[in-house]
Amino acid sequence: MKKYLIILSCLLVFFNLGKFLDITTNPPKEADIIVVLGGGKDTRIKKGLELYQLGYSKNKQIIFTGQDLCDTILPSFYRKQYLLSNGVKKSNILQIDEKHISNTMDEIFAVKNYILNKQMKSVLFVTHPTHTRRIKILANTIADYDDANITMSFAAADHTKVWDKNLFFLNLASIKLVLLETIKIPYNLIKYTLFL
């Protein structure tokens, strides 16, 4: 009987991982700035532009960070040109230098520094939905966003086109994303707690 309870508990945890990892809201929350995190081919920059055009950035700024997987030769050029060609003013686009950013933690610290330097209070992160919980945990536990009174919200840029946090287990690509993020959260916490 105890063995079945353990199995049932594990299954309940597994089936709810999508809801745990994906903390995006619909509609997203307006913020001082929109930050499009690196990676995700071109889905993140497209979602960032959509939110920008809908007025989700109070300061009319859109920032992108990290590396863009859709163009390995000129990734920042691609993203900037995409925003410019869709009507975003050059003065409203900021790139946080990707040479100094190699992972999510670097992005989180770079964004925090920018927000504090500009005396802002809120950020709308654009990333993959399964990535959102890890960003929130790292931002609050390692980068101290809470202590700095920085409010975060999240918008989903879905690479899979079939993401459903309630039924992720019906899609192999979604299962892989969920399992990867489930491993990355404790790994990142241990890594950055011990070596930062």
List of residues 6+ apart from 15 with CB closer than 8 A: 169
CA-CA-CA-CA torsion sign (131, 134, 139, 142): negative
pLDDT recorded at residue 24 = 92
pLDDT recorded at residue 71 = 47
List of residues 6+ apart from 64 with CB closer than 8 A: 35, 36, 37, 38, 45, 48, 76, 79, 80, 93, 94, 95, 96
pLDDT recorded at residue 75 = 59
pLDDT recorded at residue 155 = 94
| CATH dotted code for 24-158 | 3.40.50.620
pLDDT recorded at residue 43 = 86
**Identity at 41, one-letter amino acid code:** K
pLDDT recorded at residue 4 = 84
- Sorted by where each begins, the domain ranges of the chain are 24-158
Answer whether 0.85 is exceeded by the pTM.
yes
pLDDT recorded at residue 68 = 53
**Identity at 6, one-letter amino acid code:** I
pLDDT recorded at residue 2 = 83
List of residues 6+ apart from 184 with CB closer than 8 A: 134
β-partners of residue 9 are none
| Regions of the chain with pLDDT less than 50 | 70-74
